[in-house]
């Protein structure tokens, strides 16, 4: 059955006016066009909807039953189009986002606040999890985007770089004198002499730091291992040792009163970017988030 929206609109207007001439005037169509549309509609549905003669026009019993249903179909059609348009114009929608802890504890709040200000009708769901789980969330469709460091296990996802993070050393005033005058971008010898607070062995950050130390022929004494960068910073603040963290954490570490010194890019730097599912178009809320992230880190 090939009934068109145009035919339904013409029928409902004719049924409302009970006049071909009045309906034609209201719809800015000719009377022959109105008549032809009604004839085609009746042909498609299998019977007469209107009784018409030279004096007056009225709905058949079937037409009387069909009229409110036709109005309902048109209303549903308009509502559906409006809903889809709202999604494309970001007047409504949702976005699920997975982020690594280093990002969640630092830049995330500023970015989410800006996004909400620009798109207040989009509902956000944010999961703060480790990188491997964030990638798996994207692969499994549990979230649309993830913000993480570039990793080795990126099969089945797209990675859009945002910026390069150059890792840095953090230390308390207790170790400040021992590092006085030392430029860690060129000389790591004093760093190797100090006790170190490290991420646990399952952490990607720990693996990268270990590989960097080994490649520079160094050896350190680890006095504590933790599974959160915030905990690492707090132990460093107590003077237990020094630490190596992403520069993404600078604001967080500064609030703990820690000293920070950059390390050379040859020692350790990693790309931070947005992960999305491969071969799948982004929703409008996701596109807006990617645009905002790229603008934020320009």
Main-chain dihedrals φ then ψ at residue 79, nearest 5 degrees: -65, -40
**Whole-number percent of the chain with pLDDT over 90:** 47
Q: Report, in this order, helix, strand and coil percent for the chain, each rounded to 5.
A: 50, 20, 30
CATH assignment at residue 191: 3.40.190.10
What is the span of the domain harbouring residue 32?
5-88
Shared domain for 139 and 197, answered yes or no, is no
pLDDT for res 191: 84
CATH assignment at residue 48: 1.10.10.10
- 20, 29 in Cβ contact below 8 A? no
Among 56, 88, 120, the domain boundary falls at: 88
How many independent structural domains does the chain possess? 3
Shared domain for 290 and 153, answered yes or no, is yes
- 90, 84 in Cβ contact below 8 A? no
Q: What is the mean pLDDT of residues 32-58?
A: 87
Reported as a pLDDT band with limits 50, 70 and 90, residue 96 is: very high
For residue 41, give the nearest of 16, 67, 18, 23 by alpha carbon. 67
Number of Cα atoms under 13 Å in the Cβ half of residue 74: 16
pLDDT (tens digit, 9 = 90+) per residue, 180-190?
A: 878 877 778 88
Helix, strand, or coil (residue 145): strand
Rounded to an integer, what is the distance from CA 231 to the centroid of its chain? 28
Shared domain for 263 and 279, answered yes or no, is no
Shared domain for 150 and 275, answered yes or no, is yes
Shared domain for 115 and 233, answered yes or no, is no
Answer yes or no: is pLDDT of 276 > 70.
Answer: yes
Answer yes or no: is pLDDT of 248 > 70.
Answer: yes
Q: What is the mean pLDDT of residues 26-43?
A: 90
Shared domain for 230 and 172, answered yes or no, is yes
DSSP state of 164: E
Rounded to an integer, what is the distance from CA 98 to the centroid of its chain? 8
Average per-residue pLDDT for the chain: 89
Shared domain for 181 and 263, answered yes or no, is yes
Shared domain for 174 and 242, answered yes or no, is yes
Shared domain for 172 and 262, answered yes or no, is yes
Shared domain for 18 and 48, answered yes or no, is yes
Q: What angle do CA 255, 259, 261 make, to 5 degrees?
A: 125
Reported as a pLDDT band with limits 50, 70 and 90, residue 274 is: very high
pLDDT for res 92: 66
Answer yes or no: is pLDDT of 202 > 80.
Answer: yes
The model's pTM is 0.69
State the Cα–Cα distance between residues 104 and 17, nearest whole angstrom.
Answer: 61
Reported as a pLDDT band with limits 50, 70 and 90, residue 81 is: confident
Reported as a pLDDT band with limits 50, 70 and 90, residue 1 is: low
Shared domain for 199 and 280, answered yes or no, is no
Shared domain for 49 and 138, answered yes or no, is no
pLDDT for res 110: 93
pLDDT (tens digit, 9 = 90+) per residue, 106-165?
A: 899 999 999 999 998 888 999 998 888 999 999 999 999 999 999 877 888 999 999 999
Alpha-helical (H) ranges within the chain are 5-17, 20-27, 31-45, 61-88, 101-104, 108-118, 131-139, 189-193, 204-215, 229-237, 250-255, 284-296
């Amino acid at each position: 059955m090939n009934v068109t929206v145009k035919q339904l609109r013409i029928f409902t207007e004719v049924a409302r006016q009970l006049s071909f001439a009045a309906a034609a005037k209201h719809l800015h169509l000719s009377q022959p066009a109105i008549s032809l549309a009604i004839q085609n509609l009746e042909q498609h549905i299998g019977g007469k909807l209107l009784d018409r003669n030279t004096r007056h026009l009225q709905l058949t019993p079937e037409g009387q039953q069909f009229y409110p249903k036709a109005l309902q179909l048109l209303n549903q059609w308009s509502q559906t189009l409006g809903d889809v348009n709202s999604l494309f114009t970001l007047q409504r929608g949702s976005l699920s986002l997975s982020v690594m802890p280093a990002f969640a504890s630092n830049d995330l709040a500023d970015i989410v606040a800006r996004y909400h200000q620009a798109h207040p009708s989009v509902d956000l769901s944010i999961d703060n999890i480790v990188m491997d789980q964030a990638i798996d969330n994207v692969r499994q469709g549990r979230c649309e985007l993830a913000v993480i460091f570039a990793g080795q296990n990126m099969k089945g996802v797209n990675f859009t770089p945002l910026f390069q993070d150059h890792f840095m050393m953090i230390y308390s005033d207790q170790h400040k004198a021992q590092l006085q005058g030392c430029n860690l971008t060129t000389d790591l010898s004093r760093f190797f002499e100090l006790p170190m607070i490290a991420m646990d062995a399952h952490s990607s950050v720990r693996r990268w730091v270990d590989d960097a130390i080994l490649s520079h022929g160094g050896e350190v004494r680890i006095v504590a291992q933790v599974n959160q960068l915030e905990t690492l910073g707090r132990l460093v603040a107590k003077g237990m040792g020094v630490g190596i963290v992403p520069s993404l954490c600078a604001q967080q570490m500064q609030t703990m009163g820690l000293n920070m010194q950059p390390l050379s890019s040859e020692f350790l730097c990693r790309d931070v970017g947005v992960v999305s599912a491969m071969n799948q178009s982004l929703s409008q809320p996701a596109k807006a988030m990617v645009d905002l992230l790229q603008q934020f880190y320009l």
